[in-house]
Structure formats: C-alpha cells, structure tokens
Chains A and B, each alone.
Chain A
C-alpha cells in the first residue's frame, strides 16, 4: 500500500521539522518543513481523489487561507495569545464539523462501532475546544473580563453537560436512521459546546498559559479522533503529536505555578488586582502619577535612608555602579508597551561593559514562551535571555536587578509564606540581589493578591508609574 507509505514519509518530514526546533534559526527551517508536510498531504489527496464541487472548495479554502495570512502578518506579539486561541478554536470547529459529517454518513454505510465512536469523540473534543478557545481568546484579547466566572453549583452543571453529551453519544452509537442520527449528533455538539464554555469560564486571566496549552492539546486530540474515524494515518499522527505537545506545555505551566490542572480548571478564586486588569491602553501616561513619585516610592513601612530622598537618583546610582545586572520583565512591561525601552536600556548597560541578562519566569506572559517573543519583537539579542533555573543561582552575586512590570514572579512570599495562592510556586530570586529597582505601575499586589515583601526591602527602590516613561528617564540619566 504505497499510499500508506507516503503518509508515513510525510509524518517523517513533520517529525524532522519538529526536531529542528532546538534553536531559533533551525526552527525556521523546521516550520517550513512542517508546512511542506501538510502541503504534501493535500497534494496526496488531490492526486488520488476527485473532489467536487471544485468552486466551493476553492472559494472556502481560499477565503480561510487569505484571512489567516493577512491576520498573521499584522498581529503584534502582545496579541499572539489571542490569535493562537482563535486559530485553535477554528481548528476545533473544523474537527467537529468533519467528524459530524462522517458520523452521519455512518448510518448510510455499514461501518463498525470503532468509526462511530471515534467520530463522536472527535465531535465532542472539537466542540469543547471551539467554545473553550473562543472564550479564552476573548479574555486574551481583553474583549472579555479577566475575572473568572462561577455559576451556582458549577460542578453540577459541568457533570450535567458531560452526562448529556455521554448519553446523546450513546444514543448516536445505536441510532439506525439518518434523521435521528443527525438530531442526536446536533445534541452532542451542543452539549459539548456548553461543556467547553463551562470549563473555560472559571479560568481567569492569570491562568491563561495553562488553559491555552490545554486547549492546544485538545485540538490535536480532536484531529486524531477524526483521523481514526476516516482512517487517515496523517491526521492521526499529526493530531497525536500536537496533543502531546500541548500536554507537555500544560504540565510545564502547571509546575511553574505549582498548581494542578484540575485546580486551574476549577478556578483559583483569584481576582486580578493589579494592572493586568487594565486594557492595553495602560500606556497613556497619567502625569499626576509621575510627579509625586517621591511620596509613592516608599511602600508603607519602609524607612528610606535619611540622606537619599529621590528614588530616581538612587536608582540611577545603583545602575551606574553595578557591574552585573539582571533584568526581570513581566507582562506589565508589555501592557505598558515598554519592551523597546527595556531592550534598549539593556543594551545601553551592556555596552558600558556590564554583564546584563534577562531572567524569564516560565509563566511570565499569557502563554508559554510569551515573554521571549515579546522581547524578540523588540529586537533583543536573544543571547542575553536566561531561563529561571539557570539564572536563579546568580541573583545572590548580582549587583542590581531591574524589575519591569513583574510582581508575583519575584514575590518572596511564595517561598516564605504558607497558604497563599502562590505558596510553593518557584520564583525568580530577585530578593537575594544586592539592590533591586522596581519599575511597576504601582505598589498593588499582582494577580495573586498577595503583598510583595520585595517592595519593602531596604535594598529595593520603587519607581512607580508608566514603565515606558520611567525607563526613558533612567536611560537619559545613564547616557
């Protein structure tokens, strides 16, 4: 069966493409290989089958492709998570539609229970990921509130929807005629769609990295089930690999937050308190905030050294004398649109002979690896980027840490206090450095609502206000 061999060869090319994701430059080739693999898959079908109506096929596929292409070229990195969620949802929709049609065709032909079961599973996973992704995407695009939504007896509703989907699926497995099969199938899709909404609605803005990875795995699974239903090795292999990838990322995110997936989906009860709740227009500066910086910079309880009144002078002094600097960027930096300033300040500091690196926490940003692409978009030298586990031992020996728009990822309460939402979460050990300069919007707690003792340490300087302006001032003073 040469056709099967060709499918396996295509899978091999895809696998090679994924293997090449070991560095940014080989990854570019890897991405092209993966695209080629899918293209060959399309070619294989066109060569072996005659499809009609051709007009419908060309128009729909063409429109979808064009829309995807245009959006891809225009999206900024801060909007990437929303874009990925949207595309994910589209994949889920395609999966459940394909599975539905295949299922309804089962009644006509005589296919085994395996095919019907696979089709139903494809429908359920596809519909769940569609609605879940749309909800997640809405949150990520700041079109929906970041607050998780809890319904009365939420778990009961979830169980009810899941049972409904199960029962209707059971009915669909046994159904004999096309009409009842179609009705039952519609019911399954509706129940599954509702399930997706109910699952995703309890996950707030803070936990998005976990949810979006989970949904990524979900669409892979949906594609794999479709593949089982139609007997395509290509669908099955691709879907399985995507499912595995999403699962691995979900696990990494959960570990980085020290939470379990079930806990995240059940909702953490965290209401965002910090700047993360503000829409992207957190950028417009509020003049009244930058002026009384002296009064605000001392978080309650700090006794400023008597001889240093102006925190900016103190910060500039710290950075000027530092021989080693670690920069900790957070999502707040992206919200303030301060990526470029941060990168340029880093280059400025490094150019004067200091050792400068960026320390990235695994859950910084709205999706795994988000902070990296945000910095890359701002033209960072990616050789300056360090992961948490590699950089943590270095903090104690570092002269200065610059925190930009980050709070919970450098919150020592995570390792010093028990019983908080972030207890046990690994953090970047900024509090161990000799001096810390914090450029955050304000001194309010982050998503967790847990106060940050880092702000009150004597070696910490707080520069509140719009990070873009703060950094511009620092750069000018250090030039």
Chain B
C-alpha cells in the first residue's frame, strides 16, 4: 500500500513539474510538442514488455504482442516524426549554409 501511495505521489509531482515546464513552450512548437508527447505516451511499451516477464498463456501473448506492436509504432513513429518536423524549421542563413556545403561535396 505504501508503495502504491508513493507511486501516486510521483504521479502528482510529475504532473506539477510538467505543468510548470510545458506552459512556457512557444506556440510555434505546439505541433512538435504534441507529436513528441504522443511518442512519450507510448511509454506503456515498458508495461507491454513487463507482461512477458512471467509465464503467459496464449491469450495473454496475443494481447501482449498487439500491445507491443502498437506501442512500438507509437514511440518510434512519434519521435521520428518530431525529429523530421523540427528539421523543417530553418532560417535562411542555415539553408544557405547547407546549400553551400552541398555544392562542395556534390
């Protein structure tokens, strides 16, 4: 019971810290924020993995397998999309620098 309460306390503390940090994020980054936090919500992949730490019956294996695939999709896809999205935000000086180096190597 004590462990449960402690875990609940961690939940509350994380919510508080998260609030303090996230409210400062500029609107320009709201979409990457959403896709990144989306990926983080795939943290349940850890729960799916832990399902297989004990003996599983067939039904549990099916459920766990689907959960693993779905969560992996969520996590990997989310971080990859966010990374790609953020790479779109360039200033002209950065783009010009890239083109310059492309000329050199190309």
**Same assembly:** yes
Query: Is the pair A64, B17 in contact by a Cβ cutoff of 8 Å?
Result: no
Query: Is the pair B86, A97 in contact by a Cβ cutoff of 8 Å?
Result: no
Contacting residue for B31 out of A235, A372, A381, CB 8 A: A372
Contacting residue for B37 out of A32, A237, A245, CB 8 A: A245
Q: Which of A14-54 contact B (CB under 8 A)?
A: 14-15, 18-19, 21-25, 27-28, 30-32, 34-35, 38, 41-42, 45-46, 49-53
The CA-CA distance from A88 to B87 in the complex, in Å, is 22
Query: Is the pair B61, A53 in contact by a Cβ cutoff of 8 Å?
Result: yes
The CA-CA distance from A422 to B62 in the complex, in Å, is 48
Query: Is the pair A87, B15 in contact by a Cβ cutoff of 8 Å?
Result: no
Contacting residue for A234 out of B26, B36, B46, CB 8 A: B46
Q: Assess whether A77 is interfacial by the CB under 8 Å rule.
A: yes
Most buried by B among A25, A69, A71, A72: A72
* Shortest Cβ distance from B78 into A: residue: A87
Q: Which of B68-87 contact A (CB under 8 A)?
A: 68-87
Query: Is the pair A31, B79 in contact by a Cβ cutoff of 8 Å?
Result: yes
Question: What range describes how many residues of B lie at the interface?
Answer: 35 or more
- B29 nearest CB across to chain A (Å): 5
Query: Is the pair A24, B28 in contact by a Cβ cutoff of 8 Å?
Result: yes
Contacting residue for A94 out of B1, B10, B42, CB 8 A: B42
Query: Is the pair A28, B71 in contact by a Cβ cutoff of 8 Å?
Result: no
Query: Is the pair A246, B67 in contact by a Cβ cutoff of 8 Å?
Result: no
Q: Assess whether A464 is interfacial by the CB under 8 Å rule.
A: no
Q: Evaluate whether A83 and B81 lie within 8 angstroms (CB atoms) in the complex, with A57-B52, A97-B66 already known.
A: yes
Q: Assess whether B103 is interfacial by the CB under 8 Å rule.
A: no
Most buried by A among B14, B19, B85: B14
Q: Assess whether B104 is interfacial by the CB under 8 Å rule.
A: no
Q: Assess whether A412 is interfacial by the CB under 8 Å rule.
A: no
Chain A at the B interface: mostly helix, strand, loop or mixed? helix
Find chain B residues with CB under 8 A from A368 CB: 27, 30-31, 34
Q: Assess whether A272 is interfacial by the CB under 8 Å rule.
A: no
Query: Is the pair B14, A11 in contact by a Cβ cutoff of 8 Å?
Result: yes
- A88 nearest CB across to chain B (Å): 6
Among A148-156, A212-220, A436-444, the one that faces the other chain is A212-220
Find chain A residues with CB under 8 A from B89 CB: 24-25, 376, 382
Q: Assess whether A61 is interfacial by the CB under 8 Å rule.
A: yes
Q: Assess whether A360 is interfacial by the CB under 8 Å rule.
A: yes
Query: Is the pair B34, A84 in contact by a Cβ cutoff of 8 Å?
Result: yes
Q: Assess whether A60 is interfacial by the CB under 8 Å rule.
A: yes
Q: Assess whether A224 is interfacial by the CB under 8 Å rule.
A: yes
Find chain B residues with CB under 8 A from A223 CB: 41-44, 47
Query: Is the pair B4, A228 in contact by a Cβ cutoff of 8 Å?
Result: yes
- B73 nearest CB across to chain A (Å): 4
Query: Is the pair A101, B43 in contact by a Cβ cutoff of 8 Å?
Result: no
Find chain A residues with CB under 8 A from B84 CB: 72-73
Find chain A residues with CB under 8 A from B38 CB: 84, 87-88, 91, 216, 219, 242
Find chain A residues with CB under 8 A from B100 CB: none
Query: Is the pair B40, A38 in contact by a Cβ cutoff of 8 Å?
Result: yes
Query: Is the pair B11, A93 in contact by a Cβ cutoff of 8 Å?
Result: no
Q: Evaluate whether A22 and B25 lie within 8 angstroms (CB atoms) in the complex, with A220-B37, A237-B10, A243-B15 already known.
A: yes
Q: Assess whether A289 is interfacial by the CB under 8 Å rule.
A: no
Query: Is the pair A236, B7 in contact by a Cβ cutoff of 8 Å?
Result: yes
Query: Is the pair A369, B73 in contact by a Cβ cutoff of 8 Å?
Result: no
Query: Is the pair B81, A80 in contact by a Cβ cutoff of 8 Å?
Result: yes
Query: Is the pair B77, A38 in contact by a Cβ cutoff of 8 Å?
Result: no
Query: Is the pair A61, B69 in contact by a Cβ cutoff of 8 Å?
Result: yes
What would be 14 A-B contacts, judged by CB atoms less than 8 Å apart? A34-B39, A42-B46, A53-B52, A71-B77, A72-B77, A90-B70, A91-B42, A91-B70, A101-B63, A101-B64, A101-B67, A241-B37, A377-B88, A379-B88
- Which 4 interchain pairs have the tightest Cβ spacing? A68-B77, A369-B30, A64-B72, A24-B89
List chain B positions with a Cβ less than 8 A from chain A.
1, 3-4, 7-8, 10-15, 17-19, 21-53, 60-61, 63-92, 95
List chain A positions with a Cβ less than 8 A from chain B.
11, 14-15, 18-19, 21-25, 27-28, 30-32, 34-35, 38, 41-42, 45-46, 49-53, 56-57, 60-69, 71-73, 75, 77, 80, 83-84, 87-88, 90-91, 93-95, 97-98, 100-102, 104, 112, 114-115, 212-213, 216, 219-220, 222-224, 226-228, 230-246, 248-249, 252, 360, 362, 367-370, 372-373, 376-377, 379, 381-383, 385, 387
**Further pairs besides A60-B65, A88-B38: 19, Cβ < 8 Å:** A14-B40, A25-B89, A30-B36, A42-B46, A46-B49, A49-B53, A64-B73, A77-B85, A87-B78, A90-B70, A94-B45, A227-B47, A231-B4, A237-B14, A238-B40, A239-B41, A243-B15, A368-B34, A377-B88
